[in-house]
Amino acid sequence: MAKKSSKDINYKRLFIAVDFPEEIKEKIFVFQKNVKNSIIGNVKWVEKENFHLTLRFIGEVPERYVDEIKEILDEVSQYVESFPITLEGFGGFPSLSSPRVLWIGIKDGLNDLEKIFDLIERRLVKKGIPKEKKPFSPHLTLGRVKENIKILQDFDFKKEEILIEEIILFESILTPQGPIYKPIYKVSLKKHT
Written out in words, the top-level CATH class of the domain with range 12-188 is alpha beta
Q: Write the secondary structure of 47-91 as one string of H (helix), E (strand) and C (coil).
A: CHHHCEEEEEEEEEEECCHHHHHHHHHHHHHCCCECEEEEEEEEE
Neighbouring CB atoms inside 10 A of 36's CB total 13
Determine contact, residues 65/57, Cβ cutoff 8 Å: no
Tens-of-pLDDT digits for all 193 residues of the chain? 444 555 668 999 999 999 999 999 999 999 999 999 999 999 999 999 999 999 999 999 999 999 999 999 999 999 999 999 999 999 999 999 899 999 999 999 999 999 999 999 999 999 999 999 999 999 999 999 999 899 988 999 999 999 999 999 999 999 998 899 999 999 999 987 6
Name residue 169's amino acid.
Answer: L
In 3-state terms, what secondary structure has residue 119? Answer: helix
Q: Residues near 14 by Cβ (< 8 Å), separated by ≥ 6?
A: 58, 59, 60, 61, 65, 66, 69, 169, 170, 171, 172
What are the residue ranges spanned by the domains of the chain? 12-188
Catalytic (active-site) positions: 52, 139
Q: What is the pTM of this model?
A: 0.92
